[in-house]
Amino acid sequence: MERTLSWRIHRPSSKVIDVTGPKARAEKMADDPIGKELETLKADISRLRQDIAHLTEAVRTVAQDKAAETKERAQNRVQEGWEELEAKLDSLLGQGREALEGAQERVSEHPLGSLLTAFSLGFIIGKLMDLGGRR
């Protein structure tokens, strides 16, 4: 058994002051019902602090997981959008090539008609631009 330190100091004012070590005070409090309640409250507060620390860690982990999921979903959407854009661009380029090939075929089949059409369009555009300059 440990030995506790306890002193009694007598002052001239006839008051006796009990100066005891922390362990002796804790033992005295443990005998007292209010002291027991206080010790129980201290233990409860300590457990609450631990629980709050665990909850904080759990919330942080969940938030990090949700942020990672959201980032992954956004990256997937961007990738899907990019692939869709590339597919549409390839389709448009294919249509443009087909239109160019078709025009080349028509020009090669009817060279004189194509030349007259090009000359006529150039003449009409020139007149329209000339009229815009006179206003």
Cα distance from N-terminal residue to C-terminal residue, the chain: 116
Encoding tokens for residue 43?
A: 């233990």
Interatomic CA distance for residues 94 and 96, integer angstroms? 5
- Please report the pLDDT score of residue 65 as a whole number: 96
The percentage of residues in the chain with a pLDDT greater than 90, rounded to a whole number, is 53
Task: Return the minimum-mean-pLDDT range out of 18-27, 32-41, 97-106.
Answer: 18-27
The confidence band for 100, taking pLDDT boundaries of 50, 70 and 90, is very high
pLDDT over 50 at 126, yes or no = yes
- Please report the pLDDT score of residue 52 as a whole number: 96
pLDDT over 80 at 104, yes or no = yes
- Please report the pLDDT score of residue 1 as a whole number: 46
Task: Return the minimum-mean-pLDDT range out of 55-59, 92-96, 114-118.
Answer: 114-118
2, 12, 100, 135 from 93: Cα distances, Å? 93, 108, 10, 40
Residue 20 per-residue DSSP state? E
Q: Higher pLDDT residue, 27 or 83? A: 83
- What is the reported pTM? 0.43
Q: Higher pLDDT residue, 128 or 10? A: 128
The two most distant CA atoms of the chain are separated, in Å, by: 135
Could you tell me the residue ranges of all domains in the chain?
Answer: 1-30, 32-100
Region 101-105: what's the mean pLDDT? Answer: 90
The confidence band for 114, taking pLDDT boundaries of 50, 70 and 90, is confident
Burial group, residue 107, by CB count within 10 angstroms (0-12, 13-18, 19+): middle
